[in-house]
Amino acid sequence: MAGDILKVKELVEGYLGRGNDPKDILDNGLIAGMDIIGGRFKRNEVFIPEVMIAAKAMHSGLDLVKPHLAESGVKPFGKIVVGTVKGDLHDIGKNIVSMMFRGAGFDVVDCGIDVPSGKFIDLVKQENADILAMSSLLTTSMPFMGEVINLLTKENLIDSVRVMVGGAPVTKEFAQNIGAHGYAEDASSAVDRARELLRISAKR
């Protein structure tokens, strides 16, 4: 939570060395800390830099735990394809959302910015994604979110993937109108919504 990368590494190495369960280190150490930061961010008690620093520290621990998780057969909670829609180059919010998803234990495939609608569909198929999360910061790029949902419907994929949308100009009403399954106004609510959509409790 303090963003101390070296301390996180030292602690995680220590716990792993003493034979602690890697899932316990992940759930009750790394993710638990990130959840607290997420709550503070939501209440405006900390801001983007603190979240990014905390996420960086969390990743330094995650990198050490990951190989052990794979060995013990622990699977990520779900796969999320994330991207900023066509015509839109804004990625600060999307990157924060991606970081929070990763911090919460999801497997994230970030397909970047200015993503053509068809590419989202290809990636959802290719990655067998549980959630597609699209970001838009421009009123002119928002309609592409609807276009992607129409394409998913056409390809009969709309029932097998949950679609989440967000970004400053996006509203709950807009999300409902285009047929998205979820909307969140910030990165930490995005994690709550993703968990709801996949019915994973925050405590697990």
Residues 181-200 contacting ligand B12, CB under 6 A: 184, 186-187, 190
Position 97 contacts ligand B12 (CB under 6 A): yes
Do the Cβ atoms of 52 and 17 come closer than 8 Å?
A: no
Write down the least CB distance from residue 173 to ligand B12, Å.
15
**C-alpha–C-alpha distance, residues 37 and 100, integer Å:** 10
**C-alpha–C-alpha distance, residues 202 and 34, integer Å:** 12
Cβ neighbours of residue 83 closer than 8 Å, sequence gap 6 or more: 94, 110, 111, 112, 113, 115, 119, 120, 123, 133, 134, 135
Mark the segment that binds ligand B12 (CB under 6 A) among 14-22, 62-70, 91-99, 147-155. 91-99
Residues 17-36 contacting ligand B12, CB under 6 A: none
**C-alpha–C-alpha distance, residues 186 and 136, integer Å:** 13
Dihedral, CA of residue 37, residue 40, residue 41 and residue 43, to nearest 10 = 160
Position 99 contacts ligand B12 (CB under 6 A): no
Write down the least CB distance from residue 107 to ligand B12, Å.
16
Position 138 contacts ligand B12 (CB under 6 A): yes
Position 93 contacts ligand B12 (CB under 6 A): yes
Q: Of 59 and 94, which CB lies nearer to ligand B12 in the complex structure?
A: 94
Residue 10: how many other CB atoms lie within 10 Å: 12
Cβ neighbours of residue 42 closer than 8 Å, sequence gap 6 or more: 186, 188, 189
Position 149 contacts ligand B12 (CB under 6 A): no
# of chain residues touching ligand B12 (CB under 6 A): 27
Binding mask 37-76 for ligand B12 (x = CB under 6 A): -----------x----------------------------
Residues that bind ligand B12 (CB under 6 A): 48, 87-94, 96-97, 133-135, 137-139, 164-169, 184, 186-187, 190
